[in-house]
């Protein structure tokens, strides 16, 4: 597959900004740096939609290895995981069992389930709830663009499941998801206000300044305690905002992905901002046409 290799080589300089490294050894110093700068972290081993049980087992083993390596850093890490990485697309009970084993091994560390495309929404929520009954440190990401999320947030609050609220990064059809950014923002705020008042250690995951300004006003007006929630942002995105929120005394958690399966994650980041696309195209031209200042 020389074309795919070439494409990945060209994209990697862009990907590097968003991932802590292609493997654990490279990622550890970056994870350590985030911790030493006063941030919390949620670590994600990149990978999704595995098609064999062996791949799901391998993903589980990688999380266990990561957990062992981080134990020596002595810090309260969270872990983020996609259930399609643990075999949700293969067999639900097999996937739930994999998650249970991870939850058991990771003790009090929170494992937060990323929310993937809508084909996985119901399955993810059901497994989350089932495993949460015996392992209360399982949390769940909820996407503000889905119509169903209002009910899902309510359900998580009632069951004391910690929610990470994000806008949603997949292309979803108009019969199940809001399409306009204004509507998504409005729904995000409504859900965030509810989580801040009633949620169980929720994480408000956005880099959207217009939302953050409104959220900070709400937090002040409603006297929401800074230790009752987290702001959460992606590794390499809006470090300026991460720093400002931290300096204001809020807890900021950085979502840190690493691993060799960085392509789907990077492509989602790529389409979120037109400047990203421009960066990649410029880089591509510079490399292929040899437009370098240094010779």
Q: Interface residues with ligand FDA (CB under 6 A)?
A: 114-115, 141, 143, 164, 166-170, 205-208, 232-234, 237-238, 255, 269, 272-273, 276
Q: Please state the closest distance from residue 172 (CB atom) to ligand FDA, in A.
A: 9
Nearest to ligand FDA of 168, 202 (CB atom) = 168
Number of helices followed by number of strands (H, E) in the chain: 11, 8
Q: What is the number of the residue whose Cβ is closest to ligand FDA?
A: 207
Nearest to ligand FDA of 50, 115 (CB atom) = 115
Nearest to ligand FDA of 70, 146 (CB atom) = 146
Nearest to ligand FDA of 175, 182 (CB atom) = 182
What token pair was written down for 288?
Answer: 């292929």
What token pair was written down for 267?
Answer: 């492509």
Nearest to ligand FDA of 117, 136 (CB atom) = 117
Q: Please state the closest distance from residue 295 (CB atom) to ligand FDA, in A.
A: 31
How far apart CA 279 and CA 295 sit, in angstroms, is: 21
The sign of the dihedral angle between the CA atoms of 201, 196, 258, 263 is positive
Q: Please state the closest distance from residue 290 (CB atom) to ligand FDA, in A.
A: 27
Give SS3 for 166.
strand
In angstroms, the first-to-last Cα distance of the chain is 30
Q: Please state the closest distance from residue 230 (CB atom) to ligand FDA, in A.
A: 9
Nearest to ligand FDA of 70, 234 (CB atom) = 234
Residue pair 235/207 in contact by the 8 Å Cβ criterion: no
Q: Please state the closest distance from residue 114 (CB atom) to ligand FDA, in A.
A: 3
Q: Please state the closest distance from residue 147 (CB atom) to ligand FDA, in A.
A: 15
Give SS3 for 60.
helix
For the chain, the helix, strand and coil percentages under 3-state DSSP, each to the nearest 5 = 55, 15, 30
Give SS3 for 172.
coil
């Amino acid at each position: 597959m020389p074309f795919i290799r070439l494409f990945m080589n060209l994209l990697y300089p862009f990907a590097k900004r968003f991932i802590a490294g292609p493997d654990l050894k490279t990622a550890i110093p970056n994870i350590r740096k985030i911790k030493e700068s006063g941030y919390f972290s949620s670590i994600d081993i990149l990978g999704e939609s595995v098609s064999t049980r062996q791949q799901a087992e391998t993903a589980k083993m990688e999380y266990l290895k990561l957990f062992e390596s981080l134990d020596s850093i002595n810090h309260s890490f969270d872990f983020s995981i996609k259930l399609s990485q643990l075999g949700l697309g293969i067999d639900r009970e097999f996937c739930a069992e994999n998650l249970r084993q991870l939850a058991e091994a990771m003790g009090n560390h929170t494992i937060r389930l990323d929310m993937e495309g809508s084909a996985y929404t119901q399955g993810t929520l059901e497994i989350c709830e089932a495993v949460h009954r015996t392992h209360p440190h399982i949390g769940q990401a909820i996407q503000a663009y889905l119509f169903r999320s209002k009910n899902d947030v309510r359900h998580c609050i009632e069951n004391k499941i910690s929610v990470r609220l994000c806008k949603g990064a997949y292309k979803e059809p108009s019969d199940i998801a809001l399409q306009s950014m204004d509507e998504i923002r409005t729904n995000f705020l409504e859900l965030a206000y509810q989580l801040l008042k009633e949620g169980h250690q929720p994480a408000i995951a956005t880099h959207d300044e217009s939302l953050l300004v409104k959220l900070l006003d709400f937090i002040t007006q409603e006297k929401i305690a800074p230790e009752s929630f987290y702001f959460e942002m992606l590794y390499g995105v809006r470090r300026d905002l991460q720093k400002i929120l931290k300096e204001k005394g809020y807890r900021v958690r950085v979502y840190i992905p690493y691993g060799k399966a960085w392509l789907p994650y990077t492509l989602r980041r790529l389409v979120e901002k037109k400047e990203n696309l421009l960066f990649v195209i410029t880089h591509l031209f510079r490399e292929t046409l040899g437009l370098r200042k240094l010779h």
